[in-house]
Amino acid sequence: SQQGEEDPQALSIQEGENATMNCSYKTSINNLQWYRQNSGRGLVHLILIRSNEREKHSGRLRVTLDTSKKSSSLLITASRAADTASYFCATAVTGRRALTFGSGTRLQVQP
Amino acid sequence: DVKVTQSSRYLVKRTGEKVFLECVQDMDHENMFWYRQDPGLGLRLIYFSYDVKMKEKGDIPEGYSVSREKKERFSLILESASTNQTSMYLCASSLTGGVGNTIYFGEGSWLTVV
């Protein structure tokens, strides 16, 4: 079953704009991770936020986590054409050995 | 850098064939995973292994089996391929110590069953 669901499914913006993607999940988590996938390639880890953290930054990435709402958001600031990719959230759930991935958001950044 | 290598990027197999997808990682990771990715469904876990010769079923193990005889190698086996197994298969690995660790993916294997 899907633990994480991303919203929107697809997003198209202009270069320089900010992109925000959301992830909702169903059960309590240990941490939540965001991954990026270029078309036809494997996934690459971007950032991890633990359940006791509310916000985390890495370069142009900002991740927030609201455990009361069971949701997270990924903000990419000053987007570039090279940010065009699919972005997935993945949850680490107590008692489960593997991450559970959502269905992803396809981001298109127009130059 | 961690490297997870999937031996075949593109495969075309016939219905009923036995298919082997091979994956090797070079970072001495305890955990290895096989996911399947389909449009609109995201990644779904097929099997994972947390030690040599140890395996656990994921969310969609039906029609698949796995083998882990050496720590660095994790194979996915389709005993009798069917058209509904046409998909992209992703292998991944991570250190032990729990599910909070980052996982590292291979480039994926595109399997078409005709």
DSSP string, chain B: ---EEES-SEEEE-TT--EEEEEEESS--SEEEEEEEETTTEEEEEEEEEETTEEEE-S--TTEEEEEEETTEEEEEESS--GGG-EEEEEEEE-SS-TTS--EE---EEEEE-
Task: Report pLDDT for B91.
Answer: 97
Q: Are A84 and A100 in contact (CB under 8 A)?
A: no
Distance separating alpha carbons of residues B55 and B66, to the nearest angstrom: 8
Cβ atoms of A55 and A64 closer than 8 Å: yes
Contact check, Cβ <8 Å, B42/A104: yes
**A81 SS3 class:** helix
Amino acid residing at A45 = H
Q: Please answer yes or no on whether A97 and B56 come within 8 Å at the CB atom.
A: yes
Chain A environment of B74 (Cβ under 8 Å): none
What separation in angstroms does the CA of B31 have from each of A22, B24, B55, B56, B94?
28, 12, 10, 11, 5
Task: Give the pLDDT confidence score for residue B99 in this predicted structure.
Answer: 58
A-B C-beta contacts closer than 8 Å: 61
**pLDDT in 10s for each residue of chain A, 111 residues:** 446 688 899 999 999 999 999 999 998 898 999 999 999 899 999 999 999 999 999 999 999 999 999 999 999 999 999 999 999 999 988 777 788 898 899 999 999
Pairing, β A10-14 against β A105-110: parallel
Q: Which residues of B fall within a CB distance of 8 Å from A35?
A: 105
Listed residue (B28, B7, B4, B22) closest to B97, CA to CA? B28
> Out of A31, A98, A104, whose CB is closest to B48?
A98
pLDDT value at position A1?
Answer: 43
Are the beta carbons of A19 and A13 closer than 8 angstroms?
A: yes
Quote the tokens at residue A65: 């986590």
- For A81, residues 6+ apart whose C-beta sits below 8 A from its C-beta are A15, A109, A110, A111
pLDDT for B101: 77
Would you say the C-alpha torsion A14, A16, A17, A22 has a positive or negative sign?
Answer: positive
CA distances from B81 to A56, B20, B45, B114 (A): 44, 10, 18, 9
Q: Give chain B's residues under pLDDT 70.
A: 1-2, 97-100
Decide if B35 and A101 are in contact by the 8 Å CB cutoff: yes
A interface residues, B as partner, C-beta within 8 Å: 1-2, 4, 30-31, 33, 35, 40-45, 48, 50, 88, 92-93, 96-104
* pLDDT given for residue B97 in this prediction: 58
